[in-house]
């Protein structure tokens, strides 16, 4: 039976966090709030590195992903192998449509997905937009991952996958810019002799760092140093699950090392608000960084 939240859902929007644990926690929240036991087809849309796999791990603990950013590639695909064998052995299957369409025809994949659904199996499809033109089935839930996470329950009148594509593929660049700018700002603070902020949060087109006491550093100077690093147009590399590499030598801690621009020069419009924001409820100070040329509402 659907909950009221499911029955009335047009779309829900969440900030897409940049840390691995926070993405999985959000996925767990989404599953509890929006997922029904009767949902058979779940679609995900978003560019590579957006965090779709981490959301799926949070929503479906224990589900074996057939292909993800950690280099896991299950061959042959269990879904099609079980379909060809005449018996579906699992309750839930994962499919990365973009990856799989490089190895098999779309009609073969579509046949396997439809057969699994008809036998009351659940199929979780990444890059759902790649499969939709041949599948011609709306998913029970369609989730887009860009700067925000969009959760929808498509009906006869939509939204169509392309509508979600148009939103999330455009906005993901702001999330990557903000994350890289956040790590560059943290790097500057460490070089100045301050501890790296342990708590951070998200805002549209930017980031927030939290401090228990009012910092005594000069925000103008920090902004100037970060802008110098941006203008240097240095490469940003994935190093491991807990670090990025800035240039050839510098290894820096990061909670989401895959969600970055490729070079610091890709960050546009970086600036810091020139005052620390006091939260009287939590009793903490916020330092706010923004990217992009427009000023988000409410900031």
pLDDT tens track for 91-146: 999 999 999 998 899 999 999 999 999 999 999 999 999 999 999 999 999 999 99
Q: Is the pLDDT of residue 87 over 80?
A: yes
Q: Report how far apart, in Å, the C-alpha atoms of 23 and of each of 1, 50, 56, 97, 255 are.
A: 27, 10, 9, 21, 10
- If DSSP codes are grouped into helix, strand and coil, which group holds residue 174? helix
Backbone φ/ψ region at 41: left (φ over 0), alpha (ψ -120 to 50), beta: beta
Q: Token pair for residue 163? A: 């509508």
Fold of 173-290: 3.30.980
Contact predicate 144/162, CB 8 Å: no
Q: How many CB atoms lie within 10 A of CB 43?
A: 27
- The model's confidence at residue 256, banded by pLDDT at 50, 70 and 90, is confident
CATH 3.30.980.10 residue spans of the chain: 173-290
CATH number of 4-159: 3.40.50
CATH 3.40.50 residue spans of the chain: 4-159
What is the full DSSP assignment across 61-120? TT---SB-TT--B-SS-HHHHHHHHT----SEEEEEHHHHTTTS-HHHHHHHHHHHHHTT
Please give the model's pTM, rounded to 2 decimal places: 0.85
Computed over every residue of the chain, the mean pLDDT equals 90
């Amino acid at each position: 039976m659907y909950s009221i939240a499911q029955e009335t859902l047009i779309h829900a929007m969440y900030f897409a966090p940049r840390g691995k644990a926070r993405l999985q926690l959000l996925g767990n929240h989404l599953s509890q709030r929006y997922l029904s036991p009767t949902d058979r087809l779940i679609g995900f849309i978003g560019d590579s590195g957006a965090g779709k796999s981490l959301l799926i791990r949070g929503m479906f603990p224990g589900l074996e992903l057939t292909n993800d950013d950690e280099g896991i590639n299950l061959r042959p695909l269990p879904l099609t192998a079980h379909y060809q064998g005449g018996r579906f052995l699992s309750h839930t299957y994962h499919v990365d449509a973009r990856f799989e369409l490089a190895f098999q025809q779309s009609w073969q994949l579509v046949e396997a997905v439809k057969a699994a659904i008809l036998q009351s199996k659940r199929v979780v499809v990444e890059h759902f937009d790649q499969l939709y033109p041949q599948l011609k089935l709306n998913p029970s839930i369609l989730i887009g991952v860009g700067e925000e996470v969009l959760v929808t329950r498509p009906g006869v009148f939509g939204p169509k996958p392309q509508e979600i594509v148009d939103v999330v593929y455009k906005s993901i660049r702001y999330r990557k810019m903000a994350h890289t700018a956040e790590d560059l700002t943290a790097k500057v603070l460490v070089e100045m002799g301050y501890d790296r902020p342990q708590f951070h949060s998200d805002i549209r087109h930017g980031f927030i760092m939290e401090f228990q006491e009012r910092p005594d550093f000069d925000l103008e100077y920090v902004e100037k140093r970060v802008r110098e690093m941006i203008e240097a147009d240095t490469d940003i590399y994935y190093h491991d699950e807990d670090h990025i590499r800035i240039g050839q030598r510098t290894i820096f801690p990061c909670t989401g090392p895959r969600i970055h621009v490729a070079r610091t020069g890709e960050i546009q419009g970086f600036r810091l608000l020139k005052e620390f924001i006091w939260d009287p409820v939590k009793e903490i100070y916020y330092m706010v960084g923004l990217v992009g040329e427009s000023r988000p509402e409410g900031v």
